[in-house]
A and B are shown apart, each in its own frame.
Chain A
Amino acid sequence: MKYMMLIVSDPDAADRPSDPAVDPVEDWVAKHDGSGKRLDGQRLRPPESATTIRRRGGELLITDGPFTETREWIAGFDILECDDLDEAIAIASTHPMSAAGTIEVRPFWPYEG
C-alpha cells in the first residue's frame, strides 16, 4: 500500500527537548530509500512562497499565500510503499519531524482500474 506522510511544522518545537528515538533526517532518508520503502519525498518552501489557485464563477483567482491561515503548515512530504499501516507508523515514528513537528499519514486512494 502507498502512504503519503505529510510533514507538518510546529511553531512550539523549539521549546521541547530533543528526542533520542528519532534519526537525523539524512540517516532516515538513506535507510528507507535503501530498503525501497520510501519512493519519493521533498522539503517544501514555507507558506510565504505559496500561491493559491481557485476558479470561482468562471473566474480564475490567483492569490499569494497558503489556502488556509494556520500556525502549522506543511513543510514536506514523503511517499512510502508499506505492507500496512503499522509499518507506515513505525517508519514515520523515527522521522525527526515526529518529534519536532507532527506527521500525518494518509493512504493513497487509487482509482479502481
Chain B
Amino acid sequence: MSEGAADEVARALADALAEQRLRIVASLIRTTGDWDLAEDVVSDAAERALLTWPRDGVPANPAAWLTATARRRAIDVLRRAQVERGKLAEVAVIEELSDDYTDPSPMGDDRLRLVFTCCHPALALEARVALTLKVVSGLSTEAIGRAFLTSEATMGQRLLRAKNKITHAGIPYRVPTDDLAERVDGVLAVVYLVFTEGYATSARSLADEAIRLGRLLVMLLPDSDETRALLALMLLQHARRDAREVDGERVTLEHQDRSRWHRDEIDEGAALLRHRWTVRGPYGVQADIAAAHATAPSAAETDWPAIVALYDELLDIAPSPVIALNRAVAVGMSDGALAGLAALESAAEDSRLAGHYLVAAARGDLLSRAGLHEEALIALEQAIELAPTEQERRQLEQRAAELRGS
C-alpha cells in the first residue's frame, strides 16, 4: 500500500470517529448499560477499519460502516456472554441492538443522556471531569492522567470507581426534567473546570477539549443561554493564549500584544453573544466582560465604565470577594486611581481577602498610578512577601524595580 493510501485511510477513520464515535458509544450505553463494552467495541471497529480499509478501500459511508461494525461486535460479545453464563437476559438487548435506532427529539439524544450521567452530582467532581473527558471526549486514560498530573493507573481507578457507582447506585441514563436548569449548571461547571485546568497547566489540549465540549452542548441544548455564554467565554479567553506568555513569563492583559490574539475566535465568541437572552447568568456576564476586553484596541481604549457595570451585575448574581477586587481595578481604570483605591479598600474589608497578595498588588498599581510612588512601593513589597509562586514574585519585583527607576 502506498503512503498516500495509508494517509487516506487514517484521515477517513479519524473523520468517521470524530463524527460518529460519541453517537455509537452513547447509544450502546443506553441499550446495553455496559460502559466498557460500548467503548471497547468502538475501539475494535476502529482497529478493524485499519485492517480492512487499506485492502478493500474506504467504504462509501465510513461513519455508517463504523456504527454497523461496532453494533455487530456488541451483539457478538453479548451472545458469547449469554452462552457462557447460560443467561437469556440479554435477548431483548440484542434485539434492540439489531434494530436501527433513530431518536426524533434533541432532548432524547443519547449523547445528551451520556453527558448528564457523566456529570451527575452523585459523582465526585474529579470523577465527573475524568469520565466526561474519557467517554464524551474520547481521550485515553493515559492522556487524562497526564493532563491532571497523575498516573494512568490512578486515573484508571478513578474511572472504574465512577462507572461502578453509576451501575451500583442506580444513577439513571437520562436527561433530567425536574431540575434541568440546575443540572445544566453542573455540566457547565465540569466543562469550565476542564477549560481552566487547561489554562492553569498550559495544557492547551484540555482547553481545546473544553471548547469542543462547549460546541457539542450548544448544539444539544440550543435553548440554554448559559451554555451559549460559556462557549463564548471560553473562545474569548482562549483567543488570547499566544499573547499570555512571553519567554515563559506571564503577561497581564494590559500589556499583551493584541496582534497575537486570534481574531476569528474573538469574532465567533462575540457573535455568540449577539443574542436575545432569556436567562442572564454568571457565564453571560463574564463573557460580556471578556468581549469588552477582547474587542478593545488597547487597554486605554477599553470601555471601562461598561466593565464596571458588568462587574456590578456579576456581584449581584454571584457575589465573591475576588470579583469585588477585579471590579475595584476596573473602577481605577474608569474613574481614576483614587476612586479605584476607595473601591479596593471596601472590597478588602472582606475577611476572605485577608493576606491575599492580589489585594496588595492591586493597591500598589493604583497607588503608583495616583503618583504615590513610596506608598506604592510599600504595597508592592508586601505583595512580594505574600506571593504564592516564584513567577508571581518575579513579576512583582520587576514592577517594583520599574517604580524605583522612575
Tell me if B170 and A109 are in contact (CB < 8 A).
Answer: no
Tell me if A107 and B168 are in contact (CB < 8 A).
Answer: yes
Q: Does A61 contact B (CB under 8 A)?
A: no
Tell me if A85 and B178 are in contact (CB < 8 A).
Answer: no
Tell me if A107 and B170 are in contact (CB < 8 A).
Answer: yes
B118 to chain A, nearest CB (A): 14
A99 to chain B, nearest CB (A): 18
Q: Does A25 contact B (CB under 8 A)?
A: no
Residue from A3, A84, A109 within 8 A of B172 (CB atoms):
A84
B108 to chain A, nearest CB (A): 17
- Residue ID in chain B nearest A90 by CB atoms: B178
Whether A109 touches B174, Cβ cut-off 8 Å, given contacts A85-B122, A89-B122, is no
**Complex Cα spacing A41 to B68, Å:** 49
On chain B, the number of residues with a Cβ less than 8 Å from chain A's Cβ atoms is: 10
Q: Does A15 contact B (CB under 8 A)?
A: no
- Residue ID in chain A nearest B183 by CB atoms: A86
For A1, list chain B residues within 8 Å (CB): 170
- Residue ID in chain B nearest A82 by CB atoms: B170
Q: Does A12 contact B (CB under 8 A)?
A: no
Q: Does B176 contact A (CB under 8 A)?
A: yes
Tell me if A86 and B168 are in contact (CB < 8 A).
Answer: no
For B29, list chain A residues within 8 Å (CB): none
Q: Does B169 contact A (CB under 8 A)?
A: yes
**Complex Cα spacing A3 to B120, Å:** 18
Whether A83 touches B172, Cβ cut-off 8 Å, given contacts A89-B122, A90-B178, is yes
Q: Does B171 contact A (CB under 8 A)?
A: yes
The interface centre, meaning the residue of A84, A86, A107 with most chain B CB atoms within 10 A of its CB, is: A86
**Complex Cα spacing A53 to B281, Å:** 55
Tell me if A85 and B169 are in contact (CB < 8 A).
Answer: yes
**Complex Cα spacing A3 to B169, Å:** 9
For B168, list chain A residues within 8 Å (CB): 107, 109
For A86, list chain B residues within 8 Å (CB): 171-172, 174, 176
Tell me if A84 and B170 are in contact (CB < 8 A).
Answer: yes
A19 to chain B, nearest CB (A): 17
A27 to chain B, nearest CB (A): 20
For B174, list chain A residues within 8 Å (CB): 84, 86
For B120, list chain A residues within 8 Å (CB): 85
- Residue ID in chain A nearest B121 by CB atoms: A89
- Give the interface of B toward A (CB within 8 A): 120, 122, 168-172, 174, 176, 178
7 additional A-B pairs beyond A82-B170, A86-B172, beta carbons within 8 Å, are A3-B170, A83-B172, A84-B170, A84-B171, A86-B171, A86-B174, A109-B168
Can you pick out 11 interface pairs between chain A and chain B where the beta carbons lie within 8 Å of each other? A1-B170, A3-B170, A82-B170, A84-B170, A85-B169, A85-B170, A85-B171, A86-B171, A86-B174, A107-B168, A107-B169
Closest 10 CB pairs of A and B: A84-B172, A84-B170, A1-B170, A85-B170, A85-B171, A107-B169, A85-B169, A86-B172, A107-B168, A107-B170
